[in-house]
């Protein structure tokens, strides 16, 4: 169990390190996505640089790698506390943010986080996701929706834990992911507070951040 659990964590990181935004941008435009738009290797910047189709592909694949990392750990190293599935999911997010294949320069991990949390705490992630999506629709700030998602998921998860019987490791994971995501979005938070954050669909000058 221990060996398989450790292996699932390593695989989770290596899987998370696959940057689909980088690969798709290289394939379509022969460019490094990290040198264009916001400089972030993720779905939102892919939307800015490449358009809707590639962005949907990146979003879906980034979510999928989070799901696969968790499911693999659930299959090969299940445990009552949920330690290995939670750790493998976190490893996938860390891999997306700091990918070993691309000089440890990755994205902010939102889509992979969605895949991980949806796999482990589906209903509470769904509740938080609905609110996040509504905020994006009404404000057009993707970063705000992302922050609301990672902020509300642990709140809902802890509040509803007795109902859904989530393992303790899953609850701790939601908090760790929230803190990590807020730190990764620190420049976005500054821009949101100063009202200079780019809105989805807005034409803006390319900046690297």
- What average pLDDT does the segment 50-61 reach? 94
In the predicted model, is pLDDT for residue 205 greater than 80?
A: no
- The domain locations on the chain are 2-194
Burial class (CB in 10 A: 0-12, 13-18, 19+), 57: middle
pLDDT digits (tens, 9 = 90+) for 141-194: 999 999 999 999 999 999 998 888 899 999 999 999 999 999 999 999 999 999
What is the Cα–Cα distance from 66 to 180, expressed in whole angstroms? 16
What is the Cα–Cα distance from 77 to 188, expressed in whole angstroms? 37
In the predicted model, is pLDDT for residue 206 greater than 70?
A: no
- Could you tell me the CA-to-CA distances from 188 to 66, 79, 166, 197 in Å, in that order? 23, 37, 31, 7
**What is the chain's mean pLDDT, rounded?**
92
What is the Cα–Cα distance from 141 to 109, expressed in whole angstroms? 17
Residue 202: pLDDT band by 50, 70, 90 thresholds? low
- Per-residue pLDDT at 79: 84
In the predicted model, is pLDDT for residue 201 greater than 90?
A: no
- Per-residue pLDDT at 151: 98
3-state secondary structure 54-120: HHHHHHHHHHHHHHHHHHHHHHHCCCCCCHHHHHHHHHHHHHHHCCHHHCCCCCCCHHHHHHHHHHH
Q: Which of 101, 118, 13, 17 is nearest to 67 (CA)?
A: 118
pLDDT digits (tens, 9 = 90+) for 79-124: 888 999 999 999 999 999 999 999 999 999 999 999 999 999 999 9
């Amino acid at each position: 169990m221990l060996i398989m659990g450790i292996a699932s964590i390593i695989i989770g990181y290596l899987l998370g390190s696959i940057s689909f935004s980088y690969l798709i941008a290289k394939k379509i435009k022969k460019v490094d996505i990290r040198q264009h738009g916001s400089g972030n290797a993720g779905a939102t910047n892919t939307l800015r640089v490449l358009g809707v189709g590639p962005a949907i592909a990146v979003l879906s694949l980034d979510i999928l790698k989070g799901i696969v990392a968790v499911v693999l750990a659930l299959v090969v190293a299940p445990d009552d506390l949920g330690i290995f599935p939670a750790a493998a999911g976190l490893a996938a997010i860390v891999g997306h943010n700091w990918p070993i294949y691309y000089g440890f320069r990755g994205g902010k991990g939102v889509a992979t986080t969605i895949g991980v949390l949806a796999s482990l705490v589906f209903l509470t992630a769904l509740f938080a996701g609905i609110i996040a999506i509504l905020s994006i629709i009404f404000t057009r700030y993707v970063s705000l929706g992302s922050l609301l998602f990672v902020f509300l998921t642990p709140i809902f998860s802890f509040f509803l834990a007795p109902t859904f019987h989530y393992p303790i490791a899953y609850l701790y994971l939601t908090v760790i992911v929230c803190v990590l995501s807020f730190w990764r979005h620190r420049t976005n938070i500054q821009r949101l507070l100063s009202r200079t954050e780019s809105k989805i669909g807005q034409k803006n000058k390319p900046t690297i951040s």
